[in-house]
Structure formats: C-alpha cells, structure tokens
Homo-oligomer: A and B are copies of this chain.
C-alpha cells in the first residue's frame, strides 16, 4: 500500500540525492514561485493571455451560450463552483471541479491525472459534449471565426492558414490559466522567514500535519508533490491511493469506493482508486471536498484523510489545529481587469 501511495517513488531518491545543496536544512515545502513552469511550445505573451482571458469568460465557447469556463471554474472565487458536482451543459458531472488557481503547478491534469498537459485538459473540456456541449470541433471553430474580434486576434497570436482550431483555443486558454497564481499566503511568508505569519494554532497544526505525514503526499511548492522544472523532476505524475486503508465507516458514508479513479483511464487493476494528489493551496476556498465532493467541511475532510490515508484517529484539537494550518494556505489573489468580449455586431451567433 505504502508503495502505491508513492506511485512513482523516484522522488525519494531525488530528495536524498544531488539536487539539494548538502548544507541546506531540508524542508519539503517551498514558497510558491511567481510563475509556474512555462512549456517551451506555449510561451507567455500579453496578446495570448489577453485572448485566453476573453475566451475563459465567454459563454460562446459552449454549445448554446449558457456556460463559460468561468461558470464552473469561478476565478473571482476559489476557482471552482462550490458544488459537490458540476452542472455541465448536458448532464451533471461525476467529479468535483478542481480549482484553476495555481493550476500551472500541477504535473498532471484531471482528478485522475489522465492528461499530462494543461493544453490537452482544456481541449478535452471544450469538446466534451457533457461539459461545453459542442457537438463537433468544427461548430465551435466556426462560431468563433464569425466573431470579427476573435478572427483578428487569433490571426495575430497564431498566424497561419487556420488560426482558430481547438488546439489554438486551448493554447490561449492554458496561457491565461498559467497567470492564475495566488501565492504569498501566510504559509509562504512563514517559509520565507516571517515566523509570526502563522498563528500559534496554525503552527501547531503545521507540526501535526508533518508529524502524522500528511506531507508524504502534500509537499513542495504546490503541496501536491513534485513539479517539473521547479527542482523536482518527474515525468509520470504523482498519485495517491484513496482510500488507502479500506474499511472505515467513510467508505460507505462518503461513497469512496464507487469511483475507480485512474483505473477508469487505464483499466489496469493497479490503478484502481489512484488519484492525483490535490494541491492544498487555497483549500479553505474549495469546499466541498474529495473527487465526489462528499465532505462538506474542511474539518471533515481532514478527519477522513487522517483515517483513510494514515490510519489516524484525530481528536478535535488536532483537527482544528490542522485546519488552522490549512487556512494559512490561502493566497493573495491578483487584481484582474474584466475583459471585453468581442461582439458579433448586429448578428446573433446562435441559430434560431
């Protein structure tokens, strides 16, 4: 079981290996950098992130103009929808919406980690009939092409014969998403040496969190394991088995065994109940919790994780201390200007 928690256990070797200066006191946590790793084939430009931001807030990306990316990933809030399960265009989703804040610090995307690139994850969402509801990629492309402002901007950002494609739409959106960085939380300030940034209770919670080994999975800059390009190198993503210890009352109460996790992608029994390690940054803003949104409060989520992952029964004091620590992971959100969505003057983009 333990081995399965560290699905790709290479990081332990790296931890004790050559990447850290021998003299440095080792901490499994690091302050969040100002920017996530930027892939070489999607460099950040102002024109591209501006376009991505327009697209993110534009309901014309959905089949009937009812949903934008922001409908479920509410960036003015916690970057998700606050619901147990998302309301898509065609059907209710089956998994709790993860936040888009700090999404660029993940190594894999989706609750089951099925996508290895953010661009790929975005593209899937655009084209999933149950999410944005577009029946074909062509329908979406034609709709955006008919909006003069988009036609012009895509041509400028992605010059070529076919500037608007599902790939270029996803590329611009991913570039915008990588600007969504909410760091400089009290915990970041604490890590940078500002010891009073954490309350005494949050500090007790931090010690408890480390002691019972929540930090086995929730570590490094994003508290979600290694991040390529930010000192930890890992190719395969970082998963945990959840629940790790089967048999607690929560299996039934929170329906934890119903969704097979990564098994749904690979059909490999070894992947049953494997899930991407979720970041704990801004976790106080993303209730309810877990892949099915079954835990309504952070207190409950902490209790369940301790029990099912670490076989620990926490008392009320331990829970509230750890929760105080988790509250210290709420970052500072950058001020954003609302984009103007380019019009289709005098003409509806929707058929009658």
Chain A interface (Cβ within 8 Å of chain B)? 57-60, 64-66, 71, 74-78, 81-84, 87, 284-285, 287-288, 293-294, 296-299, 323, 326-327, 330, 333, 335-341, 343-350, 352
Q: Is there contact, CB below 8 Å, between B83 and A65?
A: yes
Contact A59/B75 with A66-B87, A296-B348, A350-B288 known, Cβ cut-off 8 Å: no
Q: Is there contact, CB below 8 Å, between B87 and A348?
A: no
Q: Is there contact, CB below 8 Å, between B341 and A338?
A: no
10 contacts between A and B (CB under 8 A): A64-B87, A76-B339, A77-B343, A82-B349, A84-B352, A284-B346, A285-B345, A296-B347, A297-B347, A330-B345
Kindly list chain B residues whose C-beta atoms are within 8 Å of the C-beta of A293.
348
A326 to B84, CA, bound (A): 46
A83 to B323, CA, bound (A): 44
A10 to B84, CA, bound (A): 56
Q: Is there contact, CB below 8 Å, between A78 and B323?
A: no
**Highest count of chain B CB atoms <10 Å: which of A74, A348, A350:** A348
Q: Is there contact, CB below 8 Å, between B82 and A348?
A: yes
A171 to B212, CA, bound (A): 50
Q: Is there contact, CB below 8 Å, between A333 and B340?
A: yes
Q: Is there contact, CB below 8 Å, between A57 and B81?
A: no
A284 to B149, CA, bound (A): 14
Kindly list chain B residues whose C-beta atoms are within 8 Å of the C-beta of A339.
76
Q: Is there contact, CB below 8 Å, between B71 and A71?
A: yes
The 8 tightest CB contacts between A and B, nearest first, are A298-B346, A287-B348, A77-B341, A288-B348, A284-B345, A336-B338, A66-B87, A285-B343
**B84, B326, B343, B346: the one within 8 Å of A299 (CB):** B346
Kindly list chain B residues whose C-beta atoms are within 8 Å of the C-beta of A84.
348, 350, 352
Instruction: Knowing that A288-B350, A337-B337 touch, tell me 16 more A-B residue pairs with CB under 8 angstroms.
Output: A57-B76, A82-B350, A83-B350, A287-B344, A287-B348, A288-B352, A293-B348, A294-B352, A296-B348, A298-B345, A327-B345, A330-B345, A333-B340, A336-B338, A337-B338, A338-B338
Measured CB to CB, the closest approach of chain B to A230, in angstroms, equals: 27
A347 to B298, CA, bound (A): 6
**B66, B296, B345: the one within 8 Å of A352 (CB):** B296
Kindly list chain B residues whose C-beta atoms are within 8 Å of the C-beta of A346.
284, 287, 297-299, 323, 326-327
Taking CB as reference atom, which chain B residue is nearest A335? B337
Q: Is there contact, CB below 8 Å, between A65 and B77?
A: no
Measured CB to CB, the closest approach of chain B to A174, in angstroms, equals: 20
Q: Is there contact, CB below 8 Å, between A287 and B83?
A: no
Measured CB to CB, the closest approach of chain B to A289, in angstroms, equals: 9
Q: Is there contact, CB below 8 Å, between B74 and A341?
A: yes
Measured CB to CB, the closest approach of chain B to A26, in angstroms, equals: 30
Taking CB as reference atom, which chain B residue is nearest A343? B285
Measured CB to CB, the closest approach of chain B to A116, in angstroms, equals: 30
Q: Is there contact, CB below 8 Å, between A338 and B76?
A: yes
Q: Is there contact, CB below 8 Å, between A343 and B284?
A: yes
Kindly list chain B residues whose C-beta atoms are within 8 Å of the C-beta of A59.
71, 74, 81-82
Kindly list chain B residues whose C-beta atoms are within 8 Å of the C-beta of A76.
57-58, 338-341
Taking CB as reference atom, which chain B residue is nearest A327? B345
Taking CB as reference atom, which chain B residue is nearest A298? B346
A300 to B290, CA, bound (A): 51
Kindly list chain B residues whose C-beta atoms are within 8 Å of the C-beta of A297.
346-348
Measured CB to CB, the closest approach of chain B to A254, in angstroms, equals: 10
